[in-house]
Amino acid sequence: MADKFDLIVIGAGPGGYVAAIRAAQLGLKTACVEKWIDKEGKTVHGGTCLNVGCIPSKALLEASHKFVEAQHDFDDMGIQAGDVTMDVKKMMARKDKIVKNLTGGIAGLFKANGVTALEGAGKVLSSKQVEVSKDGEKTVYEADNIVIASGSVPVDIPPTPLTEGLIVDSTGALEFEETPKRLGVIGAGVIGLELGSVWNRLGSEVTVLEAMDSFLPMVDQAVSKETQKLLKKQGLDIKLGARVTGSEIKGDEVVVKYADSEGDKEITFDKLIVCVGRRPYTQGLLDDDAGVKLDERGFIFVDDHCRTSVPGVFAIGDVVRGPMLAHKASEEGIMVADIVAGHKAEMNYDAIPSVIYTFPEVAWVGMNEQEAKAAGIEVKCGTFPFAASGRAMANNATEGMAKVITDAETDRVLGMHIVGQHAGEMIAQGVIAMEFGSSAEDLALTCYAHPTMSEAVHEAALAVDGHAIHMANRKKRK
């Protein structure tokens, strides 16, 4: 038997590495096990988020957006950029450098905080033991507590089996070496829209096939409608109600079969990205005697405090229920570390923001108007279009709107849904408002810097009572 720890964390993604650092900071003897290896066979930390998720996708979104701006928006501002071209290989090299910087930094954070980094695949045994295997060697460690943070992997569907270089998942779509002429994306979820946007901006003809009839059903209808319109204007052909049923490789093309309300159809692409969601990853993780139960969808079953069915064993992040988001994983990691260290800790699952990093960004927190009404709540909403914002005009970003949803009786903020430039930054105001139990009036009485995009949130809060300042059609003051 090797070392004994107060806490062993399995997985060093944004859930696991944050939990490990927090626990060590609180004085717990902590180890973190990671099995991800790079092309050179070295262990890398950071999980999906840093390696093949949040960070590389944002690096490509930023570069491709700047490319579009330089081509189409600079001229209007008097900037003559000449012939603008994109070197895809260079864009990819920059993305890889950012990923390397960040993933490499975690080893430094572990060292600085006294977290022991264990390399290899972790398996939960009975009696809170963790077996770590690497290159055929197995070591068993004991722990008073275990946190499972093993994350998720892309879902694949039988009609479109992954095919090297032709049918890829989100990871493959972050590695294209050139811009495909005709690109298919299955799934109009967050990841599908982001990756579709990257390649659309670089010149691909992008068709998104989405089985559902509704577009972004989790987002307020006014905001999702506006988003759909804006993405269509950019050239994304989003086909709703189009269920992919099969595919065939013909030479270096992919023929995709799908069914919509008119019947069976076919469409040919040069590359196809499958973005139909992610599933919890528990392969090889639990010994038969571990006692940790899964739910019917394969997620590790946990309570509100991320406790599994085994006392002292916790699970966080994508491998448990709730939104598959990096910041949700990290917050759960902090909560669990605090609990293990003997503190009281809670997570507010009602105030987790979501962002789609398209242009403009879509961001939301809490309920949308339709959900609130369906829950029997009488609501009052305020909206403000960026078309009426001075800063949006100066920024060349007048598309979109901010919407505040409140309880008509108490004025309490129930949700905020925004589509607009920097919506992902602005949504923090909605999160803080909800955390603090604020009313729309609280937001309305707050002094916002001028000129900022955030003033749209102020105006939307004022509009809840019909008192927006910069809207011509506002209601008369009573």
How many chain residues interact with ligand FAD (CB under 6 A)? 37
Residue 48 binds which entry of ligand FAD, ligand AMP, none, CB below 5-8 Å type-dependent: ligand FAD
Residue 145 binds which entry of ligand AMP, ligand FAD, none, CB below 5-8 Å type-dependent: none
Residue 462 binds which entry of ligand FAD, ligand AMP, none, CB below 5-8 Å type-dependent: none
Q: Should residue 193 be labelled a site residue for ligand FAD when binding is judged by CB under 6 A? A: no
Residue 184 binds which entry of ligand AMP, ligand FAD, none, CB below 5-8 Å type-dependent: none
Q: Minimum distance between the CB of residue 230 and ligand AMP, rounded to whole angstroms?
A: 19
Give the sign of the dihedral formed by CA 176, CA 179, CA 180, CA 182: positive
| Cα–Cα distance for residue pair 175/173, rounded to 1 Å | 5
Residue (210 or 332) nearer to ligand AMP, CB: 210
Residue at shortest CB range from ligand AMP: 189
Residue (23 or 272) nearer to ligand AMP, CB: 272
Residues 6+ apart with CB under 8 A from 275: 154, 169, 170, 173, 185, 186, 187, 189, 191, 192, 195
Q: Minimum distance between the CB of residue 362 and ligand FAD, rounded to whole angstroms?
A: 12
Phi and psi at residue 309, to the nearest 5°: -75, -5
Residue (115 or 216) nearer to ligand AMP, CB: 216
Residues that bind ligand AMP (CB under 6 A): 157, 186-191, 209-212, 243-244, 275-277
Residue (188 or 202) nearer to ligand AMP, CB: 188
| Cα–Cα distance for residue pair 38/18, rounded to 1 Å | 21
Residues 6+ apart with CB under 8 A from 56: 95, 96, 98, 99, 174
Residue (273 or 381) nearer to ligand AMP, CB: 273
User: Which three-class secondary structure string do you get for 359-376?
Assistant: CCEEEEEECCHHHHHHCC
Q: Minimum distance between the CB of residue 350 and ligand FAD, rounded to whole angstroms?
A: 17
Restricting to residues 248-307, name those near ligand FAD by CB under 6 A: 281, 284-285
- Best CA proximity match to 460, nearest among 397, 416, 411: 416
For the residues of 56-68, what is the DSSP string, one character each? HHHHHHHHHHHHH
Q: Tokens representing 42?
A: 């070295």
Phi and psi at residue 142, to the nearest 5°: -105, 150
Residues in the chain: 478
Among 30, 43, 57, 389, binds ligand FAD (CB under 6 A): 57
Q: Should residue 43 be labelled a site residue for ligand FAD when binding is judged by CB under 6 A? A: no
| Cα–Cα distance for residue pair 212/191, rounded to 1 Å | 16
Residue from 305, 327, 343, 450 carrying the catalytic annotation: 450
For the residues of 300-325, what is the DSSP string, one character each? BP--TT-B-SSTTEEE-GGGSSS---
Residue 33 binds which entry of ligand AMP, ligand FAD, none, CB below 5-8 Å type-dependent: ligand FAD
User: Is there a catalytic annotation at residue 327?
Assistant: no
- Best CA proximity match to 179, nearest among 194, 158, 163, 201: 201
Residue (98 or 218) nearer to ligand AMP, CB: 218
Q: Should residue 13 be labelled a site residue for ligand FAD when binding is judged by CB under 6 A? A: yes
Q: Should residue 61 be labelled a site residue for ligand FAD when binding is judged by CB under 6 A? A: no
Residue whose pair of structure tokens reads 């590695």 in the numeric block = 175
Question: Which residues contact ligand FAD (rule: CB under 6 A)?
Answer: 10-16, 33-36, 47-49, 52-54, 57, 121-122, 149-152, 170, 191, 281, 284-285, 317-318, 324-327, 329, 357
Catalytic site residues?
A: 450
